């Protein structure tokens, strides 16, 4: 899909050049009306490719997310106030 997006962008740019210049006979764009059609076609191809691109397939660096969510063992050892004893029903947590 990235190829189609790039192709649509190139078609769009060629159409814009043809609109400003008036014609590009080598590409069979003989007037500004055809250049406008080329610009619109380039936009349609570009946005179709962008819409069809599935972003869920892009892998996320899962280990980076886990590192930020799970504290290291060294950090647990540095915090002496943290105790792992469960609270009793009548105990209140210390502020």
* Residues 68-84 pLDDT 10s: 555 556 555 555 555 55
CA distance 55 to 59: 9
Phi, psi for 44 (deg, rounded to 5)? -65, -45
Reported as a single tens digit per residue, the pLDDT across 5-61 is 999 999 999 999 999 999 999 999 999 999 999 999 999 999 999 998 876 655 655
| Domains of the chain, residue spans | 2-54
CB contact at 8 A, 32 and 18: yes
**C-alpha distances out from residue 4 to 45, 57, 64, 78, Å:** 7, 18, 32, 54
CB within 8 A of 92, min separation 6: which ones? none
């Amino acid at each position: 899909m990235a190829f189609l997006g790039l192709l649509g962008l190139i078609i769009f740019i060629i159409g814009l050049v043809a609109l400003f210049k008036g014609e590009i006979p080598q590409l069979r764009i003989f007037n500004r009306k055809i250049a406008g059609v080329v610009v619109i076609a380039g936009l349609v191809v570009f946005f179709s490719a962008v819409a069809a691109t599935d972003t869920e397939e892009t892998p996320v660096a899962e280990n980076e997310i886990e590192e930020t969510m799970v504290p290291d063992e060294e950090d647990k050892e540095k915090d002496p106030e943290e105790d792992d004893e469960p609270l009793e029903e009548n105990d209140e947590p210390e502020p």
